[in-house]
Amino acid sequence: QGIGAGDEIILSVMEHHSNIVPWHFLRERKGAVIKWLDVDDDGAVDLDAYEALFSKRTKIVALTHMSNVLGAATPGRALADIAHAHGAKILLDGCQGAVHGGVDVRALDCDFYVMTGHKLYGPTGVGVLYGRKSVVDALPPFKGGGEMIDLVTTETVTYNDPPHRFEAGTPPILEAIGLGAALEWMTATGLEAIAAHESALAEQATAELSKLNFVELYGRAKDKAPIIAFNIAGAHPHDVATILDRAGVAVRAGHHCAQPLMRRLGRTATARASFAVYNTHDEVDALVSGLRKAHDMLK
């Protein structure tokens, strides 16, 4: 609502496709204009370049809070302050940010914040959308069905208050219960303890991989998430991932649903190691050993 022909949306080149494709729908169907914010090789945002993208037609900013490829965190509050100064709303994609350190949406002062259940050790098919009440109250429903209505007659219909207005039909009950259980477990374990463990693993992995002269690392931002994107020089990341898999080490290989960022980095794909609360230092050693083996096989 409120975005029409010529209205502008600001995205960055390191967005996940899930925060790109819906905005392309508005470009295709309503004539909206997408403006792109570049980042440096580590995923850092230039705030002056960001502010220069705004105009009187800018309606919304939709940016990642933490890159799923480079692990770099964006300065959420500063981004929000600049957007609001120009009369625009801001959405932060927290699918990674919510996992690796916790989130305070009031401190961020964002209008929307989104996260997904399966990144929070919960089920697939469920997520969370936070919306500022004053903004959400003004939004019309996007889907019709049970629960989202207040009164239906043959002449008219009135709608429920948020959040029910946006939850038509039967919700994913089991998935929501599972997500709640996962969040309770994370809270009981301690978000700071989880973050400290992940950070120690990432520091070990970065130090060890940096010693391998055949490994290319992407993104070295300070205080980055425990996400390490890499390639073995001259080898396809799918081949590397296959060899690691046979050695019992699971990594992701491909463009990571971030093709604009791959083009920005001059790569078609990378491998990516992501560390979580259940990983161990021995598994970091297994990754390094597996990469040595992959290099020997592929050189």
Do residues 64 and 81 make contact, with C-beta atoms less than 8 angstroms apart? Answer: no
Q: Count CA atoms within 13 Å of residue 63 on its CB side.
A: 30
Establish whether 257 is a catalytic residue. yes
**What tokens were used for 211?**
């010693």
Burial of 44 (0-12, 13-18, 19+ CB in 10 A): middle
**What tokens were used for 239?**
């081949």
Residue 252 CB neighbours (<10 A): 17
H-type helices in the chain, by residue range? 21-30, 47-52, 76-85, 105-108, 133-136, 173-189, 191-210, 237-246, 259-265, 281-298
Do residues 94 and 125 make contact, with C-beta atoms less than 8 angstroms apart? Answer: no
User: Hey, is 56 helix, strand or coil?
Assistant: coil
Kindly name the residue from 53, 257, 276, 277 that is annotated as catalytic: 257
What length does the chain have?
A: 299
List residues with catalytic annotation. 257
